[in-house]
Every structure is written in C-alpha cells, then in structure tokens.
C-alpha cells in the first residue's frame, strides 16, 4: 500500500516514460532513477535520500510526495481465522 501527499495529476493517456518525465519536471529536484513498484507504479527518492515520491496510474497518472510504503496485509483464509478465533 502506498500513501502520500497528492502533488499532481497527468492524463492517463501518457506512456509511463512520458509520465515519469512529467513527474520529474514537476518535482524540480535531483532524483535517483525511477524504479518499478506494484503494477505499473514507479518510485524514486531525492538524490540525498530525504524525500520519496511515487507515480502510478489510476484514472489519471497520480504523483505522490512524502510517500509511505507498507506491506499488504496477508490474505485471511478460513484456517487463519479459525486459528485466530
């Protein structure tokens, strides 16, 4: 799961390459290379490893700053729920 502050939106019609270029121009700071995360999502940090950013497609391309990434919770199975109960 990814959460952060919305920094901008771009049309979903952009390719991922153009969306990353758009996001980089919006951030106006030196970034490490974008790395792929999730499905079609991208992640980068500032060159000083202080600020984190995420870019992913939804209805539009969504650019998030101050990103927090948390693992997805494990899927609850019947056996797991019975053991927990």
One digit per residue, the tens of pLDDT, for the chain of length 85 reads 677 889 999 999 999 999 999 999 999 888 999 999 877 799 999 888 788 999 999 999 999 998 766 655 566 566 666 666 5
User: How many Cβ atoms are within 10 Å of 9's Cβ, its own excluded?
Assistant: 13
Reduced to 3 states (helix: H, G, I; strand: E, B; else coil), residue 17 is helix
- Contact by Cβ (8 Å): 22, 10: yes
User: Domains of the chain: which residue ranges?
Assistant: 2-84
Reduced to 3 states (helix: H, G, I; strand: E, B; else coil), residue 85 is coil
What is the spatial distance between Cα 9 and Cα 55, in angstroms, rounded to a whole number? 9
Please name the helix (run of DSSP H) or strand (run of DSSP E) that holds residue 11, with its range, or none.
strand 2-11
């Amino acid at each position: 799961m990814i959460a952060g502050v919305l920094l901008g939106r771009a049309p979903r019609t952009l390719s991922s390459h153009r969306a990353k270029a758009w996001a980089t121009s919006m951030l106006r700071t030196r970034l490490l290379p974008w790395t792929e995360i999730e499905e079609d999502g991208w992640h980068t940090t500032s060159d000083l490893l202080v600020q984190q950013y995420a870019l992913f497609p939804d209805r539009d391309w969504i650019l998030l700053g101050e990103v927090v990434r948390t693992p997805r919770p494990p899927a609850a199975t019947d056996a797991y729920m019975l053991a927990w109960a």
